[in-house]
Structure 1
Amino acid sequence: MEIGSRRAHVLGVTGHPTGPWVAQQARNLMIELGDRAEGFRFLIRDRDTKFTAMFDEVFTAAGIRILKSPPRAPRADAFAERWIGGLRRELLDRILIVNARHLRRVPAAYETYFNEHRPHRSLGQAAPLRALPDPVEDDIRVIRRDRLGGLIHEYVQVA
């Protein structure tokens, strides 16, 4: 998660993450970020053994400093913990995942919803990738779009 913009990135899903797999996901993220990666100064991560030296090297090669959270301190990375809690409460507690393909699609759909539509208090009720529209004085109609089979609803103003 990018703290300043609140933009979340879902990198991959696997039942058995290993050090090399996690390092490959880090490489994929750096490719996805492209030139934007230069704007990052820190990566906050926990002390899980899956975060190997290969993982750290991906970020240090780009000039990003690695900060490890203290042991047994979930509040040290509160932004990520909040995102994971929201994913669980808003989605995973309400849906039955049927297979690996479904498990890849559901968090990807939530990532899109989170980044493009879900309002964030710290962003003035805007979404990370969408600014709020200008206020309209005319009669406004609101339409609802259902996502993930109606599990998540998006509301959009139409003039």
Structure 2
Amino acid sequence: MIASASSNELAKYVEFLKEENKILRSRVPGQIHTKPDERSRLIKLGKALGQAIEELITLVAPSTFYRWCREGDSGKKKPNPKGGQRKSREIREFVIEIAKTTGFGYTRIIGELRKVGIKGISRQTVRNILKEEGIVPGPDRTSDCWDNFVKRHAETLWAVDFFSVKTVTARGLKDMYLLAFLCLSSREVIVSSSTEHPNSAWVVEQTKEFLDQTITREHKPSIVMHDRDTKFTKEFTAALKAKDVRTNVLPVASPNLNGRCERFIQTIKYECLFKFILFGKRHLDHVVSEFADYYNKKRAHMERDHLPPIRKRAPKAVRKLSRNKIEVRSYVGGLVQSFERKAA
């Protein structure tokens, strides 16, 4: 398509790519350090553009690009003003390994080198080695983030959130409320019974039932994270604290931080609850219990390598499998089907 484009069309393509590049560049903070092979490719393509490169290049200043060209033409690298020799490959690889493994800054990396007997390496040398590899300074690597927090505590970290469903009662349509507890590691879910009045006492009661089901496990809950809903009261926190479980309150207006729990709520609504006419509390609780049991034991989950949440081991792999050894089982009143091997 581009090969057959007219000059006017090509100009429009370039304008679009320039604008797209500006947006991408604005999302990348700080400097972008290029590697030698990357600089070579940029020089090769940029030279053909002449002075137009000054309007296009955004990775570095045009003067830096021209310096690259001069150094490339001369075939010489910028001399080391101190006349120092390049460190051996083994030391350089060791510095990179320390940085990637520990996340330490330059000074602490020197400390690790000293401990194993490597001397004569300065902070600037460590900086240059990491810069050539495109590794950012220590503070940017050691600063914690939400994903790291979740990964660190995943086995004992649970999330909780409310959701509501409309049911048909003798008094008309009523909103029923439930609590969903979800394990961040296994993706196992425990859903409470429903209520029309989700007050603090009900929340505490459901939390105690959740703890009764999980507190004796090998990886028992240690943290329960939740949003700032006013129904998560000090009594809720006290009930968890009594079992040595602490709470992690999420920031205001940050539903993405509880996205895994939100995703389950979306799943149970669209795959199950929205496909039923629910008649009151007992009917709703039964349907939710059936789906939660199916979700935990039979429904494949991508984050679990396409295994159900509470299945610990994958089935033995086979090259061929006869169709008559597979059966289709129905769950949640025939709403969902699951393909499973027949019992031996």
Calculate the TM-score normalised by the size of structure 1.
0.91
User: How far does the alpha carbon of each residue in 1:100-121 deviate from its partner, in whole angstroms, 9 at most, with x for none?
Assistant: 1101101101110010000111
Q: Pick the aligned partner of 2:332 from 132, 148, 158.
A: 148
Deviation at 1:37, TM superposition (A): 7.7
The amino acid of 2:314's aligned partner reads: L
Runs (5+) with no aligned partner, structure 2: 1-181
Aligned length: 159
Report the CA distance shift for 1:116/1:109 in structure 2 as closer, same or farther (over 3 A): same
SS class of match (2:217) = helix
Residue 132 in 1 paired to residue 303 in 2? no
Task: Provide the alpha-carbon RMSD of the alignment.
Answer: 1.7
- 1:1-159 matches, within 5 Å, as 1-36=182-217, 39-130=220-311, 131-136=313-318, 137-141=320-324, 142-158=326-342
SS class of match (1:76) = helix
Deviation at 1:39, TM superposition (A): 3.3
Deviation at 1:38, TM superposition (A): 6.2
Deviation at 1:62, TM superposition (A): 2.1
Calculate the TM-score normalised by the size of structure 2.
0.44
Deviation at 1:140, TM superposition (A): 3.8
Deviation at 1:61, TM superposition (A): 2.1
Runs (5+) with no aligned partner, structure 1: none
Report the CA distance shift for 1:14/1:37 in structure 2 as closer, same or farther (over 3 A): farther
SS class of match (2:306) = coil
Distance in 1 between the 2:222 and 2:202 partners?
23
User: How far does the alpha carbon of each residue in 1:18-72 deviate from its partner, in whole angstroms, 9 at most, with x for none?
Assistant: 1011001111111111312863221111111111111111112222221111222
> More relative contact order in 1 or in 2 (CA 8 Å, sep 6+)?
1
Distance in 1 between the 2:332 and 2:283 partners?
11
Aligned to 2:80: none
Report the CA distance shift for 1:34/1:54 in structure 2 as closer, same or farther (over 3 A): same
SS class of match (2:193) = coil
The amino acid of 1:135's aligned partner reads: A
Distance in 2 between the 1:149 and 1:128 partners?
21
Distance in 2 between the 1:124 and 1:38 partners?
20
Deviation at 1:138, TM superposition (A): 4.3
| Higher alpha-carbon deviation: 130-139 or 57-66 | 130-139
| Higher alpha-carbon deviation: 16-25 or 131-140 | 131-140
SS class of match (1:35) = coil
Distance in 2 between the 1:86 and 1:3 partners?
16
Would you say the 8 A contact 1:37–1:62 is kept in 2?
A: no
Report the CA distance shift for 1:117/1:61 in structure 2 as closer, same or farther (over 3 A): same
Would you say the 8 A contact 1:120–1:126 is kept in 2?
A: yes
Whose Rg is larger?
Answer: 2
Distance in 1 between the 2:218 and 2:211 partners?
7
Distance in 1 between the 2:235 and 2:218 partners?
18
Distance in 2 between the 1:111 and 1:41 partners?
22
Distance in 2 between the 1:120 and 1:42 partners?
23
The amino acid of 1:112's aligned partner reads: D
Structure having the higher helix fraction is 2
Distance in 1 between the 2:335 and 2:238 partners?
39
Report the CA distance shift for 1:133/1:82 in structure 2 as closer, same or farther (over 3 A): same
Deviation at 1:125, TM superposition (A): 1.0
- Residue identity over aligned pairs, in percent, reads 28
